[in-house]
Structure 1
Amino acid sequence: MYKKTEDVWKWRLYAFVTICGLMSTPTAAITPEVEQLIRAWSPLVWLHSEEKFLPSSVEFFLPEVTVQDNQGVIIQDYVTPENLIGGEASTALHMQTREPLDCPSCYNLDMFFGQPIENGGVPTYTIYREYDDAFNTLDVSYFAFYPYNRGKDACVGVPINGSCAGAEKNLGNHVGDWEHNALRFRNGQPYMIHLNVHSFGAYYEWNETTQNFHFFVGEEVRSAGNPDYDDSLYEKDARYEPQYPPTVELMGTHPVVYSANGSHGLWGSPGTAWTTWDNLILIPWLPSNVSYEGNLNWLNFLGDWGNSAEGCEYEIVTGECELGSGPSGPRSKVDFPDPQPKS
C-alpha cells in the first residue's frame, strides 16, 4: 500500500513540475497591486486554545542565543538581526540558548513563551517572488517564527492495544520553530496553496466554483513508529499518510489554518485568532548568491535556528531525541517549482 501511494505521489509531483516548467527571472520592484494581493490573502491562523508557546519576532529571540559550532565553541556572541553571521560560513553552525535547559525536554526559559499576538504584536515574515512568465506568476510564503516547539509524548516501551507497556517520553522538542504556508497566484488569482507541517505538508488547488482550496496531493511522513499505535514493534522510517482535510476554507480572502498545540504545524481543519495581516514584513525574494542587508541580514544565516540535539538515547527506537536540533531558516524552503518562462 505504501509503495503504491509513493508511486502515485511521485507521478503527480512529476506531472506538476513538468507543467510548471523551468526557471525564469523574478521582477524587482513591488507594485501596489501586488502588495494588496499579498495582504488580502495572508492567512488567519487559529492558535490552539491551550497554546503556551506563542510566536515572536526575530528581534525578540536573537539576544537570548549565541551562535556556536558543532563542538560547542561560541562563534558569535551578542547577536542582532543586523550582525548575525551568514552565508556559507554559517552552514555548519547553530544557535544555542544563553541559559541552559534544566533537562532536554524542559522549557524553563521565559523567552520560550513568545510574545502576545494581539494588535500586530508579532510579525509575519512574507517573502514574495514575481516572475516574468506567461501567467504573471507570484509566489508568496508567509513565515511565522516560534522560540520553542513542544514535542509529543511517545511510547519508548511496547505499545499494546492503544496503551504503552513501559516508559513514555516527551520527544521531538526543539528550540526555534519556523512554520509557513505558501501561495501561488496566476494573473492576480489564487492558483495553489501549500500548508507546511515541519518536514511534510499538502498542496491544495483553488476551485473557482466553490471559492476555496481543494486537496490536491499530500506528502508522506517518515515516522519512527506505527501511527495507529497497534501492538506491532516500532520500525524506524516506517511510512504513513496524515489525514489531510479535504479543503482549506476562507474568511473573506484569508485562508484559515489551524496551528497544532505546542508544535505549530499548519493544518487546514480554534482558539485564538492571529490576524497575520496586521503586521506583515514584505521581503523580496533574492537568489541564494545575493545577500540581504540591514535589518534583513538575519535571513543570510544558513545554520540551525536552535540548540543542538540532546537526550537521544531512544533515537534508535523512535527516530526522535528529547530535544531535536533547531530548524533551518526561511531561505531553505522551496514550495513550488519555477514556472515556465515566456517563449
Structure 2
Amino acid sequence: MSTNTANAADPNPTKVTKVSHAPAGVPQYVLDYAPLVHLYSKELYNPANIASQLENTRPQISYKDVAVASTPLTLDNMDQLNKLGTHGGLDVFLTSKVDITTNPKWLNGVIPDASGKTNGVTSCAIIVNDHGSGNVDVYYMYFYAFNWGGVVLGDQLGDHVGDWEHNMIRYKNGVPQYVWFSQHGNGEAFQYRVLKKDKDGKRVSHSAFITTLLPPLSPNRFFLNPPHSPAPPLPPSPQLARPDHSLQPIVYSANGSHGNYATPGIHDHTFPNLNLSVPFLLTDKTDAGPLWDPTLAAYYYLYDAVKDTYTPYDPATPSAWLHYKGRWGDAQYPDSDKRQKQLAGNRKFVGGPTGPWDKQLNRKNVCPDNGLPCILRDDLGP
C-alpha cells in the first residue's frame, strides 16, 4: 500500500491525503477526487471481478464456440480474440457457460465491505489520459457481471450479461472541473462544484453523508461544449484530521442497470438528456445503499491516444484485455429462443456491451460525441 504525495496544484494542500492501494506514479488528485458510489440498497448485481468474466464465459461468433490459440483465456491474452472472425473481434461475444436464467451466483458480484472495498475482486479500471497543458481526463470504469434492464409496461426488457459504466472527471492542473455520469446510451455532465461530496468521510453507515455547502451559483444553468474550459473557482474545503473524503463526489448507481446519477430517487430517462423524478416508461431508482470506493480494488493505466496504448502503473497489471474489441456478454438471443421475449420490437435479452476502449477515451468535450447536446449542468435538477 502506498501513500502518494499531494499534487502541487491541489486547492487544499494541507489536507490529509487519501491512502489507497494505488501503485506509485498515480497522480494524487486521481485518488483525492475519485467518485464514491452508492449502490442501490436492494441491488442484486453488484460490482464484479473483471477477470472472472472470462472464467464463466466462452467466446462465440454467430452463437457458435470458437477456438483460441492460447488457453486459458486471461486478461493478459484476451486481445487474441480480435484475430477471430472477419471484423477484428467486433463479432465476438463472451457467452455464459451456463443458462443465465438459472441465476448463477457469479452474476451477483460482490457487495463492498465497510471500508468500501470489493474484497477479493478487481472491479474497476482507472484510465488516465493526459492531454497536456494541465488538461487531464480520468475515466473511472465500473464493471458488473450482469445488467438488469428493468420493467416496461409489465415486461422485463434490456437484460444483458456484462455491464460497463463510468464516470469521467476532467481536471485542470490537478483541480476537478467537470464530471460525466454514464447512463445507458448517454448520460449527464455536471460542474464538479455542484455535486454532493462525502463531507464527513464516514463509510460504514449507508446514510452518513451530507452535501458540501456551495457558494451562489451562476444564473446561467447550462454551458455547452467548452473543451477543457475552466470552471468557476472551487469553494474552500474543510480541514480534517483524518483521511479526507470531503472532496470525493457522490455517485448513485441505479438498481440493476447501474446507470450513474448525481442524486438519489426516481430517474425516468424515457426522453434523451432529460431525467424526470416522476416515473413514466424507462425508470431507474437510486438510493444511499452500500458505499463503494472503486479505487480500493482497481487496475490503473496511463492511456496514450496517439499510440492507442495502455501503460499500467504497476507492471504486473494486465493490459491486453483493454484492446479486446468484442462484447463482454452473450449475443442477443434469437426470437426462436424460448428465453427471449419482446415488446414493440424491444427484447428482454439484448447483446452484451463493448469494453472501455469504446467509451471515447480521447473525447474533446466532457460528454461523448453522440449527436446530442453536451450540457454542463450547474445544478442538480433534471
User: What's the secondary structure of 1:62's corresponding residue?
Assistant: helix
Gaps of 5+ in 2: 1-21, 195-212, 225-243, 264-287, 312-316, 366-382
Instruction: Give how far 1:207 is off.
Output: 3.9
Instruction: Give how far 1:291 is off.
Output: 5.0
Instruction: Give how far 1:295 is off.
Output: 1.4
Quick one: which of 342, 348, 353 aligns to 1:322? 348
User: What's the secondary structure of 2:52's corresponding residue?
Assistant: helix
Indicate the residue corresponding to 1:334 in structure 2. Answer: 360
Indicate the residue corresponding to 2:128 in structure 1. Answer: 128
The answer to whether 1:49 aligns with 2:41 is yes
Indicate the residue corresponding to 1:8 in structure 2. Answer: none
What is the alpha-carbon distance in structure 1 between the residues aligned to residue 322 and residue 76 of structure 2?
10
Cα 1:152–1:338 change in 2 (3 A) is closer
| TM-score normalised according to structure 1 size | 0.67
The aligned amino acid for 1:210 is: L
**Percentage identity across aligned positions?**
25
Indicate the residue corresponding to 2:93 in structure 1. Answer: 94
Instruction: Give how far 1:127 is off.
Output: 0.4
Contact 2:129 2:361 in 1 (8 A): no
Bigger mean CA offset, 79-88 vs 92-101: 79-88
User: What's the secondary structure of 2:106's corresponding residue?
Assistant: helix
What is the alpha-carbon distance in structure 1 between the residues aligned to residue 129 and residue 144 of structure 2?
24
Gaps of 5+ in 1: 1-29, 156-167, 219-249
Indicate the residue corresponding to 1:230 in structure 2. Answer: none
Contact 2:111 2:290 in 1 (8 A): no
Cα 1:277–1:35 change in 2 (3 A) is same
What is the alpha-carbon distance in structure 2 between the residues aligned to residue 251 and residue 188 of structure 1?
16
Indicate the residue corresponding to 1:193 in structure 2. Answer: 179
The aligned amino acid for 1:149 is: N
What is the alpha-carbon distance in structure 2 between the residues aligned to residue 180 and residue 212 of structure 1?
29
What is the alpha-carbon distance in structure 1 between the residues aligned to residue 248 and residue 156 of structure 2?
34
**Residues 78-157 of structure 1 mapped to structure 2, 5 A cutoff:** 78-84=72-78, 85-87=80-82, 89-101=88-100, 106=101, 108-118=103-113, 119=115, 120=117, 121=119, 122-123=121-122, 124-133=124-133, 136-155=134-153
Q: Deviations over 1:266-325 (max 9, x none)?
A: 11001101122322321111337545587121111111110011265765715x211110
Q: Deviations over 1:44-64 (max 9, x none)?
A: 100111011111121222111
Quick one: which of 247, 254, 257 aligns to 1:260? 254
What is the alpha-carbon distance in structure 2 between the residues aligned to residue 98 and residue 115 of structure 1?
20
How well do the aligned residues superpose, as a CA RMSD in angstroms?
Answer: 3.2
Cα 1:33–1:302 change in 2 (3 A) is closer
Bigger mean CA offset, 142-151 vs 108-117: 108-117
What is the alpha-carbon distance in structure 1 between the residues aligned to residue 329 and residue 253 of structure 2?
20
| TM-score normalised according to structure 2 size | 0.61
Cα 1:79–1:211 change in 2 (3 A) is farther
Structure having the larger proportion of residues in strand: 1
Quick one: which of 293, 299, 305 aligns to 1:275? 293
User: What's the secondary structure of 1:285's corresponding residue?
Assistant: strand
User: What's the secondary structure of 2:88's corresponding residue?
Assistant: helix
Instruction: Give how far 1:115 is off.
Output: 2.2
The answer to whether 1:72 aligns with 2:67 is no
**Residues 298-313 of structure 1 mapped to structure 2, 5 A cutoff:** 298-310=321-333, 312=335
What is the alpha-carbon distance in structure 1 between the residues aligned to residue 89 and residue 215 of structure 2?
43
What is the alpha-carbon distance in structure 2 between the residues aligned to residue 65 and residue 213 of structure 1?
49
Structure having the larger proportion of residues in helix: 1
Q: Deviations over 1:238-258 (max 9, x none)?
A: xxxxxxxxxxxx951111011
